[in-house]
């Protein structure tokens, strides 16, 4: 039976994670186009399939049903060639990913982006705090092999372009090592 280990994949799977507003979706969609990979926005999948359990009173949003999210995506992840976009990372099976990229943005930049998105009050403050405390980076480092976790700065369009090139290179090297 297939276990979904990297050895069985011919194309790499990538996780793009980071605080909301750091640029995961912008980077992921562009990468998917350049590398002809399958872009998966976990938040959108959950919304579409209503993969929720219960309600978070504090943040006034539903809780993700993590088990059902994993069941929903497992088959496609086993095939490889996926770019997964989500602002948390600890609950995904470790075996899914060959690369985990954590996007990072300076406080003022992030504050402005989230304010533009319509965030305010506690939600805005909490997300900026999350970035200051590098919560997602620590989550990634404690959930995956340190050798596959990479921190990328995402402040400027130049950063975006450089991140695209970096990831493209790494994926190409991964693929050629498979052959
Ligand atoms: P996320 O998916 O992580 O929440 P988005 O991709 O939606 O973030 O990006 C949030 C906003 O920040 C968008 O308006 C996007 O254009 C902008 N942005 C993202 N990355 C960069 C970057 N490297 N430089 C400048 N603006 C960026
Ligand atoms: Mg997004």
- Number of helices followed by number of strands (H, E) in the chain: 7, 7
pLDDT of amino acid 131:
98
Assigned token pair, 101 = 């990229």
Interface confidence, given as ipTM, is 0.99
Residue with structure tokens 């900026």? Answer: 128
Per residue of the chain (179 residues), what is the pLDDT tens digit? 555 676 689 999 999 999 999 999 999 999 999 999 999 999 999 999 999 999 988 877 899 999 999 999 999 999 999 999 999 999 999 999 999 999 999 999 999 999 999 999 999 999 999 999 999 999 999 999 999 999 999 999 999 999 999 999 999 999 999 87
Helices (H), 19-156: 24-35, 42-49, 66-79, 107-116, 121-132, 135-143
> Which residues participate in the annotated binding site?
21, 23-26, 117
- Sign, CA torsion 41/143/156/119: positive
pLDDT of amino acid 160:
98
Residue among 17, 19, 21 whose CB has most ligand 1 atoms within 8 A, to mutate = 21
pLDDT of amino acid 3:
59
Ligand 1 atom closest to 159 (CA)? 23
Separation of alpha carbons 76 and 74, rounded Å:
6
Give kind and range of the element (H or E) at residue 104. Answer: strand 99-104
Backbone φ/ψ region at 2: left (φ over 0), alpha (ψ -120 to 50), beta: beta
Q: What angle do CA 165, 169, 172 make, to 5 degrees?
A: 135
Ligand 1 atom 18, closest CA:
23
Assigned token pair, 29 = 């969609």
113 lines ligand 1 (CB under 6 A): yes
pLDDT digits (tens, 9 = 90+) for 136-154: 999 999 999 999 999 999 9
pLDDT of amino acid 4:
62
Query: 127 with 19: CB under 8 angstroms?
Result: yes
């Amino acid at each position: 039976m297939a276990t979904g280990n990297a050895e069985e994949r011919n194309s790499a799977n990538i996780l793009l994670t980071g605080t909301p507003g750091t640029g995961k979706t912008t980077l992921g969609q562009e990468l998917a186009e350049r590398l002809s990979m399958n872009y998966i926005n976990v938040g959108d999948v959950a919304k579409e399939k209503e993969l929720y359990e219960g309600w978070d009173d504090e943040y006034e949003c539903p809780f993700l049903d993590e088990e059902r999210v994993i069941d929903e995506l497992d088959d496609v992840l086993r095939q490889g060639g996926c770019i997964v976009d989500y602002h948390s990372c600890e609950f995904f099976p470790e075996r899914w990913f060959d690369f985990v990229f954590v996007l990072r943005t300076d406080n003022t930049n992030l504050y402005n982006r989230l304010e533009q998105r319509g965030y305010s009050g506690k939600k805005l403050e909490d997300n900026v705090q999350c970035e200051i405390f590098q919560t997602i980076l620590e989550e990634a480092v404690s959930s995956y092999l340190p050798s596959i976790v990479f921190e990328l700065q995402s402040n400027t369009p130049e950063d975006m372009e450089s991140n695209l090139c970096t990831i493209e290179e790494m994926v190409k090297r991964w693929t050629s090592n498979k052959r």
